[in-house]
A and B are shown apart, each in its own frame.
Chain A
Amino acid sequence: MFSDRFWYELKLMGKRVTLTPILVMVGFAAIAALLHYLKVDPARTLSAGLEMILPLMAGVVISAVTSQDQAIELQLTVPRKYHLTVMRRLAIILGWTAIVTLLSSIIIALFNLGFIPQVTPAWTNPLPFLVGQLTWIATLLWYVAAGLVLGLLTRSRAASAALLCGIWIVEIVFKDLFGISAWLKPVFLFPTTLFALGGPLSQTLFNNWLDNRLEVLATGLLLLPIGWLLLLSPERLLKGSSEE
């Protein structure tokens, strides 16, 4: 029963949802090959793919999937609660993107192109690799949760996508402010790539990085119950989509 529902939801969302993260990483592999040819170190660019692009992609896709459902009237009449259906869709997209990102991260590490913060003196393997995955796990979870909340709040694919993209560009343009402002630290999403934190770091810098990752993870986890609560109001779910 569970696997039937899983495959049904996957089929419903279409191949584009499953193929998009793979295509993104294939694109980044091609860019890395080009940079290697140009004798530019591709490690930081690949890190951008994992930390900045795939989470944004997952957030935009989640907001598109959750903000509108053409069969919403029907969904609300069936015994299976709609909020559970949405959470399953969210879990599928999050899980699939996480698998693609993790596999990409392993392949990148095998090519010795990892861009992971490491403490000096170095820990024994594989601890640095596992902790280093927080680079993208925290950001991915945050973007997925933000996509869910913005999709449900705005009830518009365009508005939620624009806001997710706006957050992305604001983080880049104002990165120095995010780096120095304590109040912005829990939502500073891309410190590893933007501040080139790959490689050996001092204990203090590493601790700061780790604090930030855990704070981003925590704010992402806080957004999830907000999305859950928004899903519990049928009136809200029925309003808005026809205006698009």
Chain B
Amino acid sequence: MNQFPVFLGVLRYEFRMQIRRPALWITMALFTLLIIGIGGGGGILRVDLLQNAESRSLLNLLAQWAFRINTFFPIAVGVLLADRLPRDRRTKTEELFATAPGALSARLLGKYFGTMLATLIPVLIVYIAGVGLIAYDAQNALVIPLSLAPFAVINLPGILFVSAFSLACTSIMWTPLFQFLFVGYWFWGNLLETRFGIPTLSRTILTPIGGYMASGIYGEPFIQQGATAMQGVESIALLLAIAALVMSTLWGLLKWQQASQ
């Protein structure tokens, strides 16, 4: 049986299910309010979006904004995706799916891309709103189409990486446990400064926050000083390869669980 229509069908269904979920919009709206209320109220977002705009390239500004988005929103994405696989068990549809002709791999990939793309929509809306401010300040509407590339390069690899772990870890771990361990990882592996002497993945190319892409590829001067474009590309390749590896492992694990039932 050709599995591509199954993949597309599952993707469409999972996308619709996630995009219509009130929890998604409530979370993203409150997340945005929290960041704008505190970061915007304190003037930090103004610095991100508009400060010294005339002395910096538009791509620099866009990269910094994409990085700022990537500091917070992958947490919401990771936590919101964490209950998608356990939900199939909770609603007792897992066995039913196993009897259907669609292959596990197609269903799993459909779920991965469908839920991830739907969760990405509110993130993209917040990103575009910031881009709109940059475009208004620069009096240049071309900023808007230009902004899609930094989003794809800085935000997307990290989101794909986080989403894969969210689906995979909750197949073996209690969801609330994963959720708070994940946010702990996000701080330790992305934001913790190396000067404390604590071993960390932070400041390596294995950081889904996207510092190497922002500084290496788009030349943002402060986030990851000294990063090269090649390191940015390596970071993307590493994140995508690990995401693929995690999804393959999840597929193997679920296959084994099914076989041993």
User: How many of chain A's residues touch chain B, expressed as a range?
Assistant: 35 or more
**A232 on the B face (CB < 8 A):** no
In the bound complex, do residue A162 and residue B79 qualify as a contact, i.e. CB atoms below 8 Å apart? yes
- As a 0/1 sequence over residues 52 to 68 of chain A, the CB contacts with chain B under 8 angstroms (1 = contact) are 01001100110010000
Q: Knowing A158-B23, A177-B44, A184-B38, say if A169 contacts B72 (CB, 8 Å).
A: yes
**A20 on the B face (CB < 8 A):** yes
- As a 0/1 sequence over residues 165 to 185 of chain A, the CB contacts with chain B under 8 angstroms (1 = contact) are 111111011100110010010
**A230 on the B face (CB < 8 A):** no
Q: Knowing A162-B80, A174-B39, say if A244 contacts B183 (CB, 8 Å).
A: no
Bound form: Cα–Cα A95–B195 in Å? 36
Among residues of A, the one whose C-beta sits closest to the C-beta of B22 is: A243
Among residues of A, the one whose C-beta sits closest to the C-beta of B28 is: A162
Bound form: Cα–Cα A191–B237 in Å? 38
In the bound complex, do residue B198 and residue A173 qualify as a contact, i.e. CB atoms below 8 Å apart? no
- As a 0/1 sequence over residues 23 to 46 of chain B, the CB contacts with chain A under 8 angstroms (1 = contact) are 110110011001100110110100
User: Which residues of the partner chain A approach B24 to less than 8 Å between Cβ atoms?
Assistant: 159
**B186 on the A face (CB < 8 A):** yes
In the bound complex, do residue B180 and residue A53 qualify as a contact, i.e. CB atoms below 8 Å apart? yes
In the bound complex, do residue A57 and residue B79 qualify as a contact, i.e. CB atoms below 8 Å apart? no
In the bound complex, do residue A162 and residue B27 qualify as a contact, i.e. CB atoms below 8 Å apart? yes
User: Which residues of the partner chain A approach B35 to less than 8 Å between Cβ atoms?
Assistant: 170
In the bound complex, do residue A244 and residue B83 qualify as a contact, i.e. CB atoms below 8 Å apart? yes
User: Which residues of the partner chain A approach B97 to less than 8 Å between Cβ atoms?
Assistant: none
A-B contact count (CB 8 A): 118
A196-244 interface with B by 8 A CB criterion: 240, 243-244
In the bound complex, do residue A165 and residue B179 qualify as a contact, i.e. CB atoms below 8 Å apart? yes
**A105 on the B face (CB < 8 A):** no
Bound form: Cα–Cα A244–B199 in Å? 38
Bound form: Cα–Cα A34–B200 in Å? 12
A9-54 interface with B by 8 A CB criterion: 16, 20, 34-35, 38, 40, 44-45, 53
User: Which residues of the partner chain B approach A166 to less than 8 Å between Cβ atoms?
Assistant: 27, 30-31, 34, 72, 75-76
**A85 on the B face (CB < 8 A):** no
State how many residues of chain B have any CB contact under 8 Å with chain A: 40
Bound form: Cα–Cα A28–B164 in Å? 26
Shortest beta-carbon distance, A26 to chain B, in Å? 14
**B187 on the A face (CB < 8 A):** yes
User: Which residues of the partner chain A approach B38 to less than 8 Å between Cβ atoms?
Assistant: 170, 174, 177-178, 184
Among residues of B, the one whose C-beta sits closest to the C-beta of A176 is: B42
User: Which residues of the partner chain A approach B186 to less than 8 Å between Cβ atoms?
Assistant: 169
- As a 0/1 sequence over residues 182 to 222 of chain B, the CB contacts with chain A under 8 angstroms (1 = contact) are 11101100010000111100000000000000000000000
In the bound complex, do residue A16 and residue B83 qualify as a contact, i.e. CB atoms below 8 Å apart? no
26 A-B interface contacts by CB (under 8 A): A45-B198, A53-B184, A64-B176, A154-B26, A154-B27, A156-B22, A157-B175, A157-B176, A158-B80, A158-B82, A159-B24, A162-B75, A162-B79, A162-B179, A163-B30, A165-B180, A166-B27, A168-B183, A169-B72, A169-B75, A170-B39, A172-B187, A172-B191, A174-B38, A178-B38, A243-B21
Known: A162-B79, A181-B42. 12 other contacts (CB 8 A): A16-B177, A35-B197, A61-B176, A161-B79, A161-B180, A165-B76, A166-B31, A168-B183, A173-B72, A181-B41, A244-B21, A244-B83
